[in-house]
Amino acid sequence: MRSHRSTKRLNEIINKENTLLAKLWHKADVLKQLDTEISFLLPSAMASRAKVANISRSEVVIHITSAALLTRLRLQQRQVIQKINQMYSWARIEKVTIKVRPAKHSPVKAEIEHPHRSERIAKEIDLAVEQCSDQKLKDSLTKLAYHMRHPN
């Protein structure tokens, strides 16, 4: 069993710069900050649908939710490169890779909403049938009244 003194605290492990966990933590912070800053650079329609997925010294990978937005983002990739290179002294971005990653939605069965059906509406339709002179229209209204009374 380990003694209390040999147990390291998570904060100590994260704050040491030479550990892998600290490097990952730092990169996650950079990606989060870059994602926020790039979202301000993009048009509002694209900002919530683009996410910085990865960055290296020479390349940034951005995920976007649709192909149409991918095309629009490609037209602005030079501005994105310049902005990143200005913001981060260590970055020498030369390439932006943009990938389409549709937003994940849980499949939800859409319930079909039936219009409000009631006996009162059917009676109103019956009154219209009595006053109608066109036989085809009468037949159609009669079917509609039946449908209102018996939805299935």
Q: Residue 4 has what DSSP assignment?
A: G
106 within some domain: no
23 falls within a domain: yes
Identify whether residues 93 and 25 lie together within a single domain. Answer: yes
CATH of the domain at 79: 3.30.300
Distance separating alpha carbons of residues 56 and 114, to the nearest angstrom: 54
- The residue that leads in pLDDT, 11 or 23, is 23
Position 143 in a domain: yes
State pLDDT tens for residues 52-106: 888 887 888 989 998 888 888 888 888 888 888 887 787 788 998 999 998 776 5
The domain in which residue 87 lies consists of: 11-100
98 burial via Cβ count (<10 Å: 0-12, 13-18, 19+) = buried
Contact in structure between 60 and 97 (CB atoms under 8 Å): yes
Residue 3 lies in a domain: no
Same domain, 83 and 140: no
Q: What is the pLDDT of residue 99?
A: 92
In a domain, 132, yes or no: yes
* DSSP-based helix, strand, coil % in the chain, nearest 5: 55, 10, 35
Q: Identify whether residues 26 and 95 lie together within a single domain.
A: yes
Same-domain pairing of 22 and 73:
yes
Tens-digit pLDDT profile for residues 99-125: 999 877 656 666 666 556 578 888 889
Angle at 17 between CA 14 and CA 21, to 5 degrees: 40
Q: Which of 2-11, 48-57, 100-109, 122-131 has the lowest mean pLDDT?
A: 2-11
